[in-house]
Amino acid sequence: MNSLLVSTGTMVARENGYDYIRALGEIKRLADQGLCQGLELMMLKFYYDKREAVVSAIKDFGVNAAVIHCEKDIGTMISDAGGLLERGDLHDAEAMIHDAYDTFRYNCTFAEKLGIGRMVLHLWGGFNSDSHIDYNIESYRVLHDIAAEYGVRLLVENIPSRMYDPRSNWKRLLPYLGDGGLIFDTRFGMLHRQIEGILHDTAITEKIEHVHISDFAGTYRQFKALRPILHPGEGFVDFKKTADLLKKAGYNGTITLESPVVDGEDLDIAKLANTLRYIREIF
């Protein structure tokens, strides 16, 4: 059985006032029931002026914090800086990329204080996305070195791509990956119809060391269908086949459920527990 984690993003949202205390309590109860082995901390701007409180709460609950998910906007800022450079706006590009690096560094302090050694990274994002992928990859090398200062290794995710596609972007990145790794997301894999292609590519699978689980019910590259984020069984991902392909590739890393259960100000914990049971069954 792979180690199964729950993203705090499944339960912490604007609708419930970003109630991370409730989320930590629920994850602790699920762990005590044997349904998961810990959490993946989804970084939010909401946490930025509450670092000590968030870190203390996680430690006080005694939940294993195995992975941290870097704030997604960092990849967007890097992509936007690349766009500014292309237009010749050198000053604005420099300001943007330094803002991205400073924000990233602050994310790393959360990981360091919690003793988390792996961080999920969105290396591109937003409107510019991977339009200037070489610039994003050059920025990765800076991020890699910053992360190393905090004892953190980066895992680059196969997030949606505008110009190329996640698999080819990973291929471009591989020569510069260093001691980093890759993280495979089933929803994004389905968006680009790349699940089988990715999991049959040994150059890629040998670098995958983390998996995100959620479903997708849209057509090829139908970006508007990425939300709401669906639970397994609500979309088109063949999770049994995906699990078999991962097993054949020798995968034995961590798996995180990302499908939310926020229902207004409440949480559908029964649904969360059922999804975890399903994942445990097939993986």
pLDDT, one tens digit per residue, over 103-123 is 999 999 999 999 999 999 999
Tokens in use for 35?
A: 């349904």
Note whether 260 and 213 are within 8 A (CB).
no
User: In whole angstroms, what is the distance from residue 124 CA to residue 27 CA?
Assistant: 30
Two tokens, residue 97: 């990329």
Cis bond before residue 175 (omega within 30° of 0)? no
Q: For residue 114, what pLDDT is reported?
A: 98
Q: In angstroms, rounded to a whole number, what is the distance separating the alpha carbons of residues 218 and 191? A: 7
Query: What residues have CB less than 8 Å from 143, skipping those under 6 apart?
Result: 101, 104, 121, 154
pLDDT at 1: 52
Tell me the C-alpha distance between 40 and 135, whole Å: 28
- Tell me how crowded residue 24 is: count the other CB atoms within 10 A of its CB: 23
Distance between CA atoms of residues 253 and 142, nearest Å = 26
Helix or strand or coil: residue 210? strand
Rounded CA separation 165/120 (Å) = 18
- Length of the chain equals 283
pTM of the model: 0.97
* Dihedral of alpha carbons 78, 83, 86, 91, sign: negative
How far is the C-alpha of 127 from the C-alpha of 57, rounded, in Å? 36
Phi, psi (rounded to 5 degrees) for 159: -75, 165
pLDDT confidence band for 262 (50 / 70 / 90): very high
- The predicted structure's pLDDT at residue 2: 74
- The arithmetic mean of pLDDT across residues 65-70, rounded, is 98
Q: Is residue 67 within 8 Å of residue 118, measured between CB atoms? A: yes
When pLDDT is averaged across residues 240-249 and rounded to a whole number, the result is: 98
Work out the percent of the chain whose per-residue pLDDT is above 90: 99
SS3 of residue 267 by DSSP = strand
- Residue 174 neighbours by CB distance under 10 Å: 15
Please name the amino acid found at residue 162.
R
